């Protein structure tokens, strides 16, 4: 939940004169998103999202994020689209922060995703990959495999506070990943954060995906591995093979995986679990005592990692090889 920057009436009124979105009738801070401040604007033309980009977002990346949304929406991917101002700009400044107005996407995210939703999100991810193929701006993945060892080094000495033996187990796994990370799989623009809260459904069908602020260039199958972790484990951290099969078959209904991609899926899933474990560990051990906002538990991703360590082939994810 997040509203970091307060917006004054005067500043908002001035900002909105830049746009042709009608007369403002309401403005409410939204308790969603952890990186930016988000407001729901109501005007006589409908609802819009106002996003102020906070310090954790690199301003240089904004043309990539906003341009990607424009690119995907132009190809009819269901996603929000930046509203361009009267002069054609998608990015302006409000209360000293970079700010954009984004179209409002109807739908709700699935708090307990079911199998049919896993099929739909798989297909939507593949559609995202296909439609992002000719997007020309590039953005390196700041959280790619080579970044994991230095990231863990910032927290390693305190890892055993979370679980005895964790430091050693993670260091062993980081060595394994460095030695076995795939190098020549098909790449492109990946969403990199397509968790259930970033996917909307409406009336039983996929209505769109949001939050492109981790998008970057990396291996496409790695994005599927992120979704495998985010969508196909139950609350008790048990893998649901039915959902795994649904996700992968949904993906392949749009973009079939190569034999190399299928073979790499177990190591990609281990890497994806590592990546989210590492950022959660980083935030977990840095939370101020007594903080009202509790960060996500990193052990959830240790349990997912341990599942993937037992996996020999993608057949464990429900795929007939």
Distance of CA 158 to CAs 86, 150, 163, Å? 52, 15, 9
Q: Does 3 bind a second copy (CB under 8 A)?
A: yes
Q: Does 312 bind a second copy (CB under 8 A)?
A: no
Distance of CA 69 to CAs 25, 125, 153, 191, 211, Å? 26, 14, 34, 11, 9
108-111, Cβ contacts within 8 angstroms, sequence gap of 24 or more: 108/200, 108/201, 108/202, 109/196, 109/197, 109/198, 109/199, 109/200, 109/201, 110/196, 110/199, 110/201, 111/196
Q: Does 112 bind a second copy (CB under 8 A)?
A: yes
Distance of CA 236 to the CA centre of its chain: 22
In the list 32, 35, 95, 116, the residue contacting a second copy (rule: CB under 8 A) is: 32
Give CA–CA dist 298/279, Å, rounded. Answer: 8
Q: Does 23 bind a second copy (CB under 8 A)?
A: yes
H/E segment holding residue 50: strand 46-52
Of 262, 299, 32, 36, the C-alpha closest to 159 is: 299
Q: Which residues of 127-139 are buried (b: 16+ CB within 10 A; e: fewer)?
A: bbbebbeebeeeb
With a CB cutoff of 8 Å and minimum separation 6, the contacts of 246 are: 115, 116, 118, 119, 122, 318
CB of 207 to a second copy, least distance (A): 9
Q: Which 3 state secondary structure label does DSSP give 225?
A: helix
CB of 289 to a second copy, least distance (A): 5
In the list 18, 21, 27, 169, the residue contacting a second copy (rule: CB under 8 A) is: 27
Give CA–CA dist 16/5, Å, rounded. Answer: 17
Q: Does 9 bind a second copy (CB under 8 A)?
A: yes
Q: What is the DSSP letter of 233?
A: B
Site string for a second copy, 53-92 (x = CB under 8 A): ----------------------------------------
CB of 142 to a second copy, least distance (A): 24
Site string for a second copy, 199-228 (x = CB under 8 A): ---xx-------------------------
Q: Does 1 bind a second copy (CB under 8 A)?
A: yes
Q: Does 6 bind a second copy (CB under 8 A)?
A: yes
In the list 5, 19, 22, 42, the residue contacting a second copy (rule: CB under 8 A) is: 42
**Other Cβ atoms within 10 Å of 93 Cβ, number:** 11
CB of 208 or CB of 271, closer to a second copy: 208
Residues 136-195 that bind a second copy (CB under 8 A): none
Q: Does 111 bind a second copy (CB under 8 A)?
A: yes
CB of 109 to a second copy, least distance (A): 8
Stretch that binds a second copy, among 1-9, 95-103, 172-180, 296-304 (CB under 8 A): 1-9
CB of 16 to a second copy, least distance (A): 11
In the list 96, 150, 204, 289, the residue contacting a second copy (rule: CB under 8 A) is: 289
Q: Does 288 bind a second copy (CB under 8 A)?
A: yes
Give CA–CA dist 289/287, Å, rounded. Answer: 6
Q: Does 25 bind a second copy (CB under 8 A)?
A: yes
Residue 308 burial by Cβ neighbours in a 10 Å radius (0-12, 13-18, 19+): buried
In the list 108, 140, 142, 164, the residue contacting a second copy (rule: CB under 8 A) is: 108
Q: Which residues bind a second copy (CB under 8 A)?
A: 1-3, 6, 8-10, 23-32, 40, 42, 47, 104, 106-108, 110-112, 202-203, 288-293
């Amino acid at each position: 939940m997040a509203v970091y920057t307060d917006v004054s009436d005067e500043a908002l009124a001035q900002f909105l004169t830049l746009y042709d979105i009608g007369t403002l009738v309401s403005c409410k801070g939204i308790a969603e998103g952890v990186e930016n401040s988000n407001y729901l604007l109501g005007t006589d033309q409908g609802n819009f999202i106002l996003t102020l980009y906070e310090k954790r977002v690199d301003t240089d990346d904004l043309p990539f994020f906003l341009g990607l949304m424009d690119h995907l929406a132009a190809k009819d991917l269901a996603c929000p689209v930046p509203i361009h101002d009267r002069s054609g700009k998608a990015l302006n400044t409000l209360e000293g922060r970079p700010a954009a107005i984004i179209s409002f996407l109807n739908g709700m995210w699935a708090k307990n995703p079911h199998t049919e939703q896993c099929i739909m999100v798989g297909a939507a991810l593949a559609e995202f990959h296909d439609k992002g193929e000719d997007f020309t701006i590039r953005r390196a993945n700041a959280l790619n495999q080579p970044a994991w060892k230095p990231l863990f080094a910032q927290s390693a000495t305190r890892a055993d506070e979370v679980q005895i033996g964790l430091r050693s187990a993670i260091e062993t796994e980081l060595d394994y990943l460095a030695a076995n990370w795939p190098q020549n799989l098909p790449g492109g623009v990946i969403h990199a954060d397509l968790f259930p809260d970033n996917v909307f459904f409406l009336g039983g069908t996929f209505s769109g995906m949001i939050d492109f602020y981790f998008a970057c260039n990396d291996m496409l199958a790695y994005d599927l591995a992120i979704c495998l972790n985010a969508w196909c484990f139950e609350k008790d951290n048990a893998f649901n093979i039915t959902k795994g099969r649904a996700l992968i078959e949904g993906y392949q209904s749009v973009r079939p995986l190569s034999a190399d991609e299928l073979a790499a899926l177990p190591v990609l899933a281990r890497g994806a679990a590592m990546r989210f474990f590492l950022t959660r560990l980083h935030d977990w051990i840095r939370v101020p005592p007594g903080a009202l906002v509790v960060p996500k538990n990193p052990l959830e991703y240790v349990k997912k990692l341990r599942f993937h360590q037992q996996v020999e082939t993608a057949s464990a994810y429900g795929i007939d090889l």
